[in-house]
Structure 1
Amino acid sequence: MKNKITIALLSIITSVNVSIAGIPVTCLNCSNLFTQALEYIKDIEQLAEEIKQYEQLVKQTENAITNTMNLPSNLLSNLQSQIKVAVSNVSRLNSYKADMDALYTIFTDTWPELEEIKVDGVLMKDRIAAKQNQFKKAAEKVDNILQSNFRLSGQQLQDLQDSGDFDNYVDDLLSTKEGRQQAIEAGNQINALTVHEMRQTRALLANYVQAQAAESAQKQNEEKQLEAEEEREQSTGVDMKADILPELFR
């Protein structure tokens, strides 16, 4: 039933200019956009499973690092792959932020009154502001992680990825014991931040839908009260006529 309500709410949006993952688009049927956004929720559990696999790999790798300077080839290749995935989550996190900004634009442009709706006692505009501030702090944490473990700023990382040199950088980093330990620590922290932010994104998306549902329910309740009042007035009018007509014919 909840899924049907959600789909019904999403399908009523018509045309809004938004930006998804940094690319300006015109949303002619925003239900497709919301369907895509809701699919992100599935990604969260998938990423959580990837984190578990990563943690298992970390234990194996740390044992190998403790016992020898050289990693078995299978562990080294797996670690290289997992580190690259972990760092790519920085871009993934930014993409999620861009998508949430797009959703915010859709909701505020389509239903500006939603900002004043309370969900669990908190105004939506306050929830949105808190989320934006939280993401800013998360971005700063990621940059600190990159600086302390990879000796890179977020922009330097992006430049390496754009130029295609990032894989070589990771390979060089993992060629030393110290570099492997730094990479493992960075991967752990980045993955933890990514999962946390994605879960917060999912929660805010749910709040958007809740706010729209609350607004719709409030309007329906007001309409019902108005209809009931009109019916009472009509009923009172009929009763008065019934009393007056017999008097006229006496």
Structure 2
Amino acid sequence: MQNIVEAIKDKYHSQSEIEFQVFFNDHITNDFNILFKSLFSDQKPYFAAAIPGSFYGRLFPSCSLHIAYSCYALQWLSQMPKDMKNKRRIHYDGASIEVWNAYVAQFHKDMEVFLSARAEEIVPGGLMVLALPAIPSEIQYSKIGYRIFTFLESSLIDMVNEGIVEESLVDSFNFPVYFPSTEDMTKVVEKNGCFSIERMELANPQSGIDANSFINHIRAGSEEMFTIHFGSKIADEMFERTLEKIEEISAWMEDEYCKTTRQLFLVLKSKINL
């Protein structure tokens, strides 16, 4: 947000006359107290407020935003894809084409809701900047390059085979994350019709993160979801068992992950005449 504010000031050669209001959005369970403690540890060049709620729906009054920014959030679906059989699996990685199609359908449905809501809230000619993990269009769905879910899944299946976890619990859980391609994003934006694509590119950032840190990163963002479905004891053991696969995960990160996982950067402009 600070980069955006500084860029606007630089564009209009302004130091103080423009005032900025920044709204931070997350689910109602987010600890906004930690956010504001971080924000106000230093003086920020904008006024800040928090807006709790899902971005898969309206959050702001009509024509009240000039710039919307979403970073590594839109890969999360609004819900787990329903009415599909994904036996002994928790994701579409390595699953059947029917399972993958269910994920694609849910992603397209969610993006239509997201784009339509933002189109109401952003002023005509306003911008929306999106950044999220993605895959090149030529990568097959079965080789998404994000096999971390397969490693978590194998830990759960080991526990099923040992009688620790009910197989039906695994069969009824599908991790609600989808990694789109540029083709996916182009389709949903053009179908929605409220925005024009000003810029779209795939980057290949090299984070240099090691396998152990990567697993803990995934755990920080997903443990609550596993805990709700499987219980805290099973979720904890699943991650501990996955850490025991550290050498295999390291080899995967050096080979497939770096070759197929990308960061999608997208700039959309709200159409003036709809």
TM-score under structure 2 length normalisation: 0.25
Query: Which structure features the higher share of strand residues?
Result: 2
Please identify the structure whose Cα radius of gyration is greater.
1
